[in-house]
A and B are shown apart, each in its own frame.
Chain A
Amino acid sequence: MSGALGRRVLPWLVPVSAIALWQLASQAGWLSTRILPEPWAVLKAFWALSITGEMWRHVATSSWRAASGFALGGSLALALGLLTGSSRRAETLLDSTLQMVRNIPPLALIPLVILWFGIDESAKLFLVSVGVFFPIYLNTFHGIRSVDKGLIEMARSYGLSGWALYRHVVLPGALPSILVGVRFSLGFMWVILIVAETISAQSGIGYMTMNAREFLQTDVVLVGILLYALLGKLADLLAKNLERWWLPWHAGYSPQT
């Protein structure tokens, strides 16, 4: 198989074979439908849910929660990361506190969150924001600190200072690190959301899945899992494209390597 074609086809070899094996096992009766429904049944459920529009409503709700949590947590993390990265005084004041908070798993906060926010949207927003915060914060801080000091010295010697220095040297230099943080956060975003939606929800993919579990609709449960996987993949693709769009100069991200 030629190189380019092989690279596009081969990654699909394992998942397609696994699904084929699964279908075979279900049809042969080795796999009970209560444990794992056959792939065909999952597809049928997917189709049924999508033509009623129910699935799309759930997807829209979940996506909205994820996006707003990401926007809130991410922008706060970016701002704080830029602050503590650029100012030694801010670092001394804030960083150790933030590192302590970082070690608390966001999901362990769920009982507190329910007490504070109840079970409505703000609880989920808070959880997703907290989950998204730390990868972006840490990588922004690290990115600012690791900007090549030689470049900063050179830019200073050519008359750049203050905002111009920040804009032309520090921020672009930190950008690869920041985007790594964004990529991590996009992954966590879905994980946190999945759990947040199972606490209690009236809509969303998590609600759809929990409901289906109550009624032993394992095929719908699998549809929910599939949706999460697809959305996670989409988020990762978005992150990759951001890198390709904003870092065309970076040898590590060019198409040849």
Chain B
Amino acid sequence: MNHLDLELQSGALAALAPAVGPLPAEPAVRPTERSTPAPAGRARGTRVDIGGLSKHYGQRKVLDDIHLQIAPGEFVAVVGRSGCGKSTLLRLLAGLDAPDAAGPRFDGEPAAAGPGDTRIMFQEPRLLPWKRVVDNVGLGLQADGRGASVRERSLQALGQVGLADRANDWPSVLSGGQRQRVALARALVHAPRLLLLDEPLGALDALTRIEMHRLIETLWQQHGFTALLVTHDVAEAVALADRVLLIENHRITLDERVALPRPRVRGAAFDTIEERILHRVLGAPAGHASTDATGAAASAASTASFVSAGANVSTKS
């Protein structure tokens, strides 16, 4: 995590092949190749089932009849225009707001009172300014009597995000990126099985954001929790997620697999998928010519894949 390694693989046409990989038959199987093995069993990630979820605020409808299934250990990103209801969906999953009816089910059970195995990373770090960094990470942590104390577990979580040396500082002296890393450590120290990320990197600069992508991806692969990321940045969604959902007109109108190998690197394949989804988000008509600078072959291929994707999308509801 010391420096960036952005690799621009211009002309790597071979990387295009996995872009149209097969859809998985079983929800538990992840379609992409990764550097670490898939999580074993249900212990590490929550399965989320949403059937017919709706949410009104007064007269205003925000979400209408959402149906969604997230497999254990899957990384799902939700994109959409500002105000489309993606944060509302996350808050309903987190239990911060109540749905109109038919709440989500976790591992087949309705949501229990209290946080359970779900943890949230908010848009702002939301650290308690009157507690030192290590005490912030240990917030709500109970001594489990098994071995490591609360403090030891907090320090270990801080080590995972690379901030073990700042454990005794006040949050006010940290930078925005460091505070978000502390917030991430705070979420992870509870060993959650479902991690909800509500645009956590929006306020960070571009370089820090890329580092955070790597960090989140690595920790997700290590721990194997289910992750739901709400973001307005399509590139971020493609960099992190197995699936990208688009919320439009109060419904999910796109559910696209991102079949790229991990760790994700930016290249022609990445850009193709990103462009496709971005065009879909912005509502551009099918057949729009790509202005990608990676070469005519890539642009022809991306246009072709966009057209086919456009045909696929139009047949979805």
Within 8 Å by CB of A154, from B126, B129, B170, lies B126
B172 in contact with A249 (CB, 8 Å): yes
Q: Which residue of B lies closest to A158 (CB)?
A: B140
B172 in contact with A251 (CB, 8 Å): yes
B residues in contact with A155, CB < 8 Å: 128, 139-140
Give a binary string over A149-182; 1 marks a CB under 8 Å from any B CB, 0 the rest.
Answer: 0110111011110000000110011010000000
Chain A nearest CB from B89 CB (Å) reads 16
Within 8 Å by CB of A168, from B126, B128, B171, lies B128
Within 8 Å by CB of B124, from A150, A158, A169, A172, lies A150
| B283 in the interface (beta carbon within 8 A) | no
Q: Which of B66-112 contact A (CB under 8 A)?
A: 94-96
B119 in contact with A249 (CB, 8 Å): no
Tell me, in angstroms, the Cα distance from A160 to B115 when the chains sit together.
9
Chain B nearest CB from A202 CB (Å) reads 46
A249 in contact with B96 (CB, 8 Å): no
A151 in contact with B140 (CB, 8 Å): no
Number of A-B contacts (CB under 8 A): 49
Q: Which residue of A lies closest to B171 (CB)?
A: A249
Tell me, in angstroms, the Cα distance from A169 to B171 when the chains sit together.
15
A151 in contact with B139 (CB, 8 Å): no
B residues in contact with A159, CB < 8 Å: 114-115, 140
- Size of the B side of the interface (Cβ < 8 Å), in residues, is 21
Q: Which residue of A lies closest to B189 (CB)?
A: A158
B residues in contact with A158, CB < 8 Å: 115, 119, 139-140, 186, 190
B residues in contact with A172, CB < 8 Å: 128, 130
- Size of the A side of the interface (Cβ < 8 Å), in residues, is 19
Tell me, in angstroms, the Cα distance from A151 to B126 when the chains sit together.
6
Give a binary string over A193-224; 1 marks a CB under 8 Å from any B CB, 0 the rest.
Answer: 00000000000000000000000000000000
A residues in contact with B260, CB < 8 Å: none
B residues in contact with A7, CB < 8 Å: none
Tell me, in angstroms, the Cα distance from A157 to B116 when the chains sit together.
9
B140 in contact with A160 (CB, 8 Å): yes
B residues in contact with A150, CB < 8 Å: 122, 124, 126
Q: Which of A133-161 contact B (CB under 8 A)?
A: 150-151, 153-155, 157-160
**Given the contacts A249-B172, A251-B172, A157 and B115 also touching, CB distance less than 8 Å:** yes
Tell me, in angstroms, the Cα distance from A168 to B141 when the chains sit together.
13
Tell me, in angstroms, the Cα distance from A17 to B230 when the chains sit together.
66
Question: Chain A at the B interface: mostly helix, strand, loop or mixed?
Answer: helix
A249 in contact with B170 (CB, 8 Å): yes
Q: Which residue of A lies closest to B113 (CB)?
A: A161
Tell me, in angstroms, the Cα distance from A100 to B192 when the chains sit together.
51
| B120 in the interface (beta carbon within 8 A) | yes
Q: Which residue of B lies closest to A152 (CB)?
A: B126
| A250 in the interface (beta carbon within 8 A) | yes
Tell me, in angstroms, the Cα distance from A227 to B128 when the chains sit together.
42
A residues in contact with B190, CB < 8 Å: 158
Tell me, in angstroms, the Cα distance from A150 to B130 when the chains sit together.
15
Tell me, in angstroms, the Cα distance from A251 to B173 when the chains sit together.
9
The interface centre, meaning the residue of A154, A159, A248, A249 with most chain B CB atoms within 10 A of its CB, is A154
A residues in contact with B120, CB < 8 Å: 154, 157
Tell me, in angstroms, the Cα distance from A116 to B149 when the chains sit together.
59
Tell me, in angstroms, the Cα distance from A155 to B96 when the chains sit together.
12
A residues in contact with B129, CB < 8 Å: 249-250
Tell me, in angstroms, the Cα distance from A48 to B284 when the chains sit together.
93
Q: Which of B126-161 contact A (CB under 8 A)?
A: 126, 128-131, 139-140
B residues in contact with A249, CB < 8 Å: 129-131, 170-172
Tell me, in angstroms, the Cα distance from A160 to B190 when the chains sit together.
13
Chain A nearest CB from B27 CB (Å) reads 27
Q: Which residue of A lies closest to B142 (CB)?
A: A159
Q: Which residue of B lies closest to A172 (CB)?
A: B130
Tell me, in angstroms, the Cα distance from A153 to B90 when the chains sit together.
14
**Given the contacts A172-B130, A249-B172, A251-B172, A157 and B96 also touching, CB distance less than 8 Å:** yes
Q: Which residue of A lies closest to B187 (CB)?
A: A158
B residues in contact with A151, CB < 8 Å: 126, 128
Give a binary string over A234-249; 1 marks a CB under 8 Å from any B CB, 0 the rest.
Answer: 0000000000000111
Q: Which residue of B lies closest to A246 (CB)?
A: B130
Tell me, in angstroms, the Cα distance from A23 to B84 when the chains sit together.
76
A residues in contact with B126, CB < 8 Å: 150-151, 153-154
A residues in contact with B128, CB < 8 Å: 151, 155, 168-169, 172
Given A158-B140, A168-B139, A248-B170, 19 more A-B residue pairs with CB atoms under 8 Å apart are A150-B126, A153-B126, A154-B126, A155-B139, A155-B140, A157-B95, A157-B119, A158-B115, A159-B114, A159-B140, A160-B139, A160-B140, A168-B128, A168-B131, A173-B130, A247-B130, A249-B131, A249-B172, A250-B130
Q: 21 A-B Cβ contacts within 8 A?
A: A150-B122, A151-B128, A153-B96, A153-B126, A154-B126, A155-B139, A157-B94, A157-B119, A158-B140, A159-B115, A168-B128, A169-B128, A173-B130, A247-B130, A249-B129, A249-B130, A249-B170, A249-B171, A249-B172, A250-B129, A250-B130
Q: Closest 4 CB pairs between A and B? A: A158-B140, A154-B126, A159-B140, A172-B130
